[in-house]
Amino acid sequence: MIPVVDCRRRLSLWKLSAVAVFTLAAIIAQLLSTSPALSQQPEPQSANHAALVKQIGDDRYAVREQAARTLLEAGESAQTALRAGLADEDPQRRRSCRRILAQVASATVRQRLDSVNPDELPGIEWMSELPGWDRYARIIGTDRSSRQLFLDMQKQEPALFASLEDPEGYLLEQARRILGEEIPFVTSLDLHGILTDRMLTHNDAVVIYHTQQFPARCF
Name the DSSP class of 203: -
Is the pLDDT at 153 greater than 50? The verdict is yes
pLDDT at 39: 42
pTM score = 0.53
CA 215/CA 64 separation, integer angstroms = 37
- Quick: pLDDT tens for 163-216: 777 788 888 888 887 887 778 888 888 777 778 877 887 888 888 877 655 554
Mean pLDDT over 140-146 rounds to 91
Q: What is the amino acid identity at position 111?
A: Q
> Topology of 46-111 in CATH?
Leucine-rich Repeat Variant (1.25.10)
Percent of the chain with pLDDT over 90: 5
Q: Around 134, how many Cα atoms within 13 Å sit in the side-chain half-sphere?
A: 5
What are the DSSP E strand ranges found in 79-214?
186-189, 205-208
pLDDT at 20: 52
Q: In the predicted model, what is the mean pLDDT of the chain?
A: 76
Decide if 190 contacts 212 (C-beta within 8 A): yes
Q: Within 10 A of 175 (CB to CB), how many other CB atoms are there?
A: 13
- Quick: pLDDT tens for 58-76: 888 889 889 988 998 888 8
Where, residue-wise, is CATH 1.25.10.10 in the chain? 46-111
